[in-house]
Structure 1
Amino acid sequence: MKNVCAPYFDPDFDNLTERIFGPTCRVCIDNESMEDCTVVMVDSVNKQGLLLEVVQVMTDLNLVISKSYISSDAKWFMDVFHVQDEQGKKLRDQNVINCIQQAIGSTRESTTPRSPKARAYTNNVSRPDHLSEHTAIEMSGTDRPGLFSEISAALADLHCNIVEAHAWSHNACLACVAYISDDQSSHAPIEDPRRLASIEDHLTTLLRADMVPSTGTGPSQIKSQEVKTGGGGLLGAEGTGTNVERRLHQLMLSVRDFDGPRMSSSAMNSNERSGTKMAVSVENCDQKGYSIVSIECKDRPRLMFDTVCTLTDMQYVIFHASVGSHGGRAFQEYFIRHDDGYPLSTESEKERVIKCLEAAIERRVCEGVWLKLCAENRVGLLSDITRVLRENGLAVVRADIATKRKGSSECFLCKRRLRE
C-alpha cells in the first residue's frame, strides 16, 4: 500500500509577513514635517473596508482631513493623512494621539472575515457604553412636513424615553436612528417582544400615513417604509456596532434618496456663484483595469467619510486615492473596482455611482436655521419641542439629540436645522 502524504504547512508561515515588514499595523504620527498640520501614516496588511475604518476613527475624533494619499496594491495598505483639530491646528494633545494609534490598531486586529453583505454593513467603531443598555430603533421612508414631530409624539405616547436620536432628511426621504428606554426613571431597555412589535407596528403605520395606491412612478411609489427595533447595536450590523452616521447613509441608500428630483438650473447657477457647485464623474482606465471616480465640491468636515462610506457600502474596493482641498474646494480621486476585481462596466452603473455620491455629499448640507437647545430632560420633552416648531410652520430637516446624566437629573441637547 502506498503511503498517502499530506502537505506540510509551517505553523510560523502566517507570521512571515510580520517578520519581514514588522507588525501588521503601524501607525506613525509626525508633528515635525509640516508647519500647519499633523501627518498620520498608516501601514498595514490590507482588508476590505480598512480605509473606511481608519477614516472613521479620525471622524469620530472630529479631526479635519485636509489631504490624503492612499495606496493598497499587493495586499498592503499604505496611507498618509494630513489632519488638524477643530481649531485648524496641529494635534498637540497626547491623549488624542494615543487614541488614534490605539483605535486604528484595534480596527485592524479585531476584524475577522465576513460574507460580502455583512462586511458591507459593518465597521468596528463601537457605540458608547450607555447606549448598549438601550433599545435601538431604525426608521426609513418617505418624508413629509411634521413627520419627525409625529414620530417624537408617538414614542412619548408609547411611554418611551428618547435617550439619543439622529435624523436626516434628503430628497423627500427620511432616515432616523433612535435609542430609547422604558421610562426616564429606570433607564431600562424594552425587552418585551410584544411591546417591541407594537412599537414597530405603530411607527410603521405612521410612516405609511401618506402613502397612496401605486398608480404611477411618483416618489411615494418608489420609496419603502421600514421600522426595526432591537438591542443596543444598530440593526444593520450582524453582531457588531455600526457607526450611526454610516447607518444613516445606508438607510438613505435603501430608500433611494439618490432618485430624488435633480437641482433646478436656477439653483445650480446660484450654487455656482456661491462656490458650492458639485461635479462627480466616472471614467475607466483600461490599461490598469480601474474605474476612476473624480469629485469636486465645496469642502466641509466629514466629506471624505461620506464618500468613502458610500463607495464601500456599494461594495466597491478603493485601491488608490488622492484627496486634497484648496480655496474652500475639495478634490477627491478614487481608483476603484468591484469586490470581484472588475471595473464598472456599463454607463447605467456609472450613472448610479454618480447619483449616489452626489446624494451622500448633499445629505449633510441643508439650508435653514441652526437651533441649539439644552434643558433638563423628561419624557415627552422632544415631542413638545417639535410640536412647537411644527405649529410655527417649521420643518426639521436634520436632528441630533443626546442625553447625559448629571447627578440625578438629565441634560438634554438638541441640534437641528430648520427651514420654512
Structure 2
Amino acid sequence: MQVSSSPSNCKVFSSSFPSLPNCFAVFHVRDQEGNKVYSKKAINYIEQAICTRDPRRFTVTRLNELASRPDVAAHYTGIEMIGHNRPGIFSEISAVLAEHGCSVMEAHAWSHKDSLACVAFVSDESTSSRISDPNRLASIQDHLGTVLGPGTSMDEDGRSARAHLLGPDGLTSHPERRLHQLMFASKDFDGQPGQVSTAFPMLSLDGYKKGTGAVVSVDRCNDKGYSVVNVECVDRPKLMFDTVCTLTDMQFNVFHASVSSRGPFACQEYYIRHRDGHMLDTLDERCLVVKGVKAAVERRTCEGVKLELCTENTAGLLSYITRVLRENGLTVTQADIAMDGDKMKNTFYVQGISDNKIDMDVVESVRRELDPLPFQVKDDELLSRGQLEGEQVADRNGFCILSLLRSKIERLSHGFISSG
C-alpha cells in the first residue's frame, strides 16, 4: 500500500488495518476543524486516492503540485539538495537560483538538526520552459553544491552535501516523500541515541511543551513473527504519512496498524517485518528504527513563527524575500512554495539566527520592508504550547492508558500477543 499526503484537508483521528489475506483498512477522519467531512470535493478526492473507483489504479492526483502534471518534464527542471544546515542557507540557495536566471515554480525545504533537504522545480526565467543547456545546468549544480557544504565530498560521519538534477522519473516523485528519503540518507537522525524500550512509556510533558516530544518504542510479537513499533507524540496533519513512508523507506512492510488521537495527542502502533521477512532481532536494528521514526515525526515539526505571502510570481521574488528575512536576523527552518491558482503561495517558518527566539518588533520591521506584499504572521509555536499547557497530565496519561488497553484488545482479537 502506498500512502500519500492529501490536499483534502482531512485529518485521521483513528484507523486500523489488520493483517488479512487481502488488504483491509478503516480510517475515521474529520476535517482540520474537527468536523464531519461533507465536502463532495474532499470525498471524491479520497475515493480516487484510495482507488475505490478502480482498484487497478494506484495513481493519486495531487492538487496544486507540479509533480502530478503529465507535462512536468517538458516544462520544468527538478533539483534536489541535501546539505549542512546553518543560518541563512535557504536564502543562499534562493540567491544562486536567481543569479542563474531560474524561476522557482515550486519548492519544499526542511531542516532537522544539522541537515537541510530541499526539492525545487524551476524554469528558465526568460522563456518559462525547462532549462536544457548542459553547461548552464552544470554551473547551477556546482554553485548549489558549494553553498550546501564541502562540495560533494563526505564529511567525517559519511554524509554528503550535494545538488542533484532530477530525471523525468524523479520529477514525478512525491516531494515530501523525497525530503524524507534525502534526510534519512543524510543520517539526520544521528545525534543523541534513541532510547529503546520494550515497555509502553508514559508521555513526557517537557517534550510535548517543546512540540518535539515523540516517544518511540519497539517490542515483539513472537507468536506472529512481528516487531511492534509504538509512537506517541503531538497529533498533527500528515503524521501517519510521515511515519509509514519512513518505515517503508527503511525496508519494512506494515502488516497491521492502529492509530488513534484525542485532542492534541496521538498514539500509533505498527506491526512490521523487514522485507526479507525477519523481525528486529538486534539492539542496533531496534535503535535505528527508534531514531528513524522519531526523526520522521520531528522533521515536519517547527518551532517559530509562520509567515505567509501570497502574490504574483515575479522574477527574483523568492531571493528577495529570503534576503530580507536574513538581513533582519531571521533564518528559514522550513519552506513551502507552490502555485495556488494563479498566485504563488510562500510559507516560511522562521527563527532568530542568534538564539532561535524572535522579537515581534523584528517581524514588524520585515512586514514594513516587504510592503506592499500581502504578509501574514501566525505564531504556531505559541498556539501549540498554549494548547498543550491547557491539557492536564492526567488526561494525557489517561489517553495513553486507554490507547494501550484498546491496542491490547485489538491484539487479542487478531491473535497478536506481544512479548518482551
TM norm structure 2:
0.74
Instruction: Show structure 2 runs of 5+ residues with no match.
Output: 195-203, 353-420
The farther-off stretch of 135-144 and 191-200 is: 191-200
> Runs ≥4 in structure 1, deviation > 6 angstroms?
210-213
User: CA shift at 1:102, angstroms?
Assistant: 2.5
User: CA shift at 1:61, angstroms?
Assistant: 2.0
Residue aligning to 2:141: 200
What letter matches 2:350 in structure 1? L
User: CA shift at 1:65, angstroms?
Assistant: 0.3
Residue aligning to 2:17: 70
Distance in structure 1 (CA, Å) of the matches to 2:243 and 2:61: 18
Residue aligning to 2:350: 418
User: CA shift at 1:340, angstroms?
Assistant: 1.6
SS in 1 for 2:160: coil
Distance in structure 2 (CA, Å) of the matches to 1:93 and 1:213: 49
Instruction: Determine whether 1:61 maps to 2:2.
Output: no
What letter matches 2:127 in structure 1? S
**Number of aligned positions between the proteins:** 336
1:97-136 → structure 2 map (5 Å cutoff): 97-105=43-51, 108-110=55-57, 127-129=67-69, 131-132=72-73, 133-136=75-78
Question: Do 1:70 and 1:79's aligned partners in 2 also have CA atoms closer than 8 Å?
Answer: yes
Distance 1:193 1:88, change over 3 A: same
What letter matches 1:145 in structure 2? P
Distance in structure 1 (CA, Å) of the matches to 2:180 and 2:213: 22
Residue aligning to 1:258: 189
Distance in structure 2 (CA, Å) of the matches to 1:81 and 1:402: 29
Question: Do 2:235 and 2:261's aligned partners in 1 also have CA atoms closer than 8 Å?
Answer: yes
Question: Do 1:124 and 1:242's aligned partners in 2 also have CA atoms closer than 8 Å?
Answer: no
Residue aligning to 1:120: none
1:179-258 → structure 2 map (5 Å cutoff): 179-183=121-125, 185-209=126-150, 217=156, 221-231=157-167, 233-234=169-170, 241-258=172-189
SS in 2 for 1:199: helix
Distance 1:378 1:281, change over 3 A: same
Residue aligning to 1:8: none
User: CA shift at 1:145, angstroms?
Assistant: 1.0
Distance 1:295 1:414, change over 3 A: same
Question: Do 2:193 and 2:287's aligned partners in 1 also have CA atoms closer than 8 Å?
Answer: no
User: CA shift at 1:87, angstroms?
Assistant: 2.5
Instruction: Determine whether 1:142 maps to 2:84.
Output: yes
RMSD value, Cα: 2.5
Instruction: Determine whether 1:79 maps to 2:25.
Output: yes
Residues 194-224 of structure 1 show CA distances to partners (whole Å, capped at 9, x for unaligned) of 322221112112212599996xx5xxx4431
Question: Do 1:107 and 1:124's aligned partners in 2 also have CA atoms closer than 8 Å?
Answer: no
What letter matches 1:128 in structure 2? S
What letter matches 2:112 in structure 1? H
Residues 212-241 of structure 1 show CA distances to partners (whole Å, capped at 9, x for unaligned) of 996xx5xxx443112111356536xxxxx2
SS in 2 for 1:234: helix
Percent sequence identity over aligned pairs: 47
Question: Do 1:295 and 1:333's aligned partners in 2 also have CA atoms closer than 8 Å?
Answer: yes
> Greater CA radius of gyration, 1 or 2?
1
Question: Do 1:271 and 1:277's aligned partners in 2 also have CA atoms closer than 8 Å?
Answer: yes
User: CA shift at 1:327, angstroms?
Assistant: 3.6
Question: Do 2:109 and 2:335's aligned partners in 1 also have CA atoms closer than 8 Å?
Answer: yes
Distance 1:110 1:284, change over 3 A: same
1:18-417 → structure 2 map (5 Å cutoff): 50=1, 52-53=2-3, 56=4, 59-74=6-21, 76-105=22-51, 108-110=55-57, 127-129=67-69, 131-132=72-73, 133-183=75-125, 185-209=126-150, 217=156, 221-231=157-167, 233-234=169-170, 241-261=172-192, 270-272=206-208, 277-403=213-339, 406=342, 411-417=343-349
User: CA shift at 1:328, angstroms?
Assistant: 2.1
Instruction: Show structure 1 runs of 5+ residues with no match.
Output: 1-49, 112-122, 236-240
Question: Do 1:136 and 1:233's aligned partners in 2 also have CA atoms closer than 8 Å?
Answer: no
SS in 2 for 1:109: coil
Distance in structure 2 (CA, Å) of the matches to 1:353 and 1:107: 35
Distance in structure 2 (CA, Å) of the matches to 1:261 and 1:363: 15
What letter matches 1:310 in structure 2? T
What letter matches 1:198 in structure 2? S
Question: Do 1:142 and 1:223's aligned partners in 2 also have CA atoms closer than 8 Å?
Answer: no
Distance 1:94 1:319, change over 3 A: same
SS in 1 for 2:24: strand
Distance in structure 1 (CA, Å) of the matches to 2:87 and 2:256: 42
Residue aligning to 2:400: none
Distance in structure 1 (CA, Å) of the matches to 2:86 and 2:217: 31
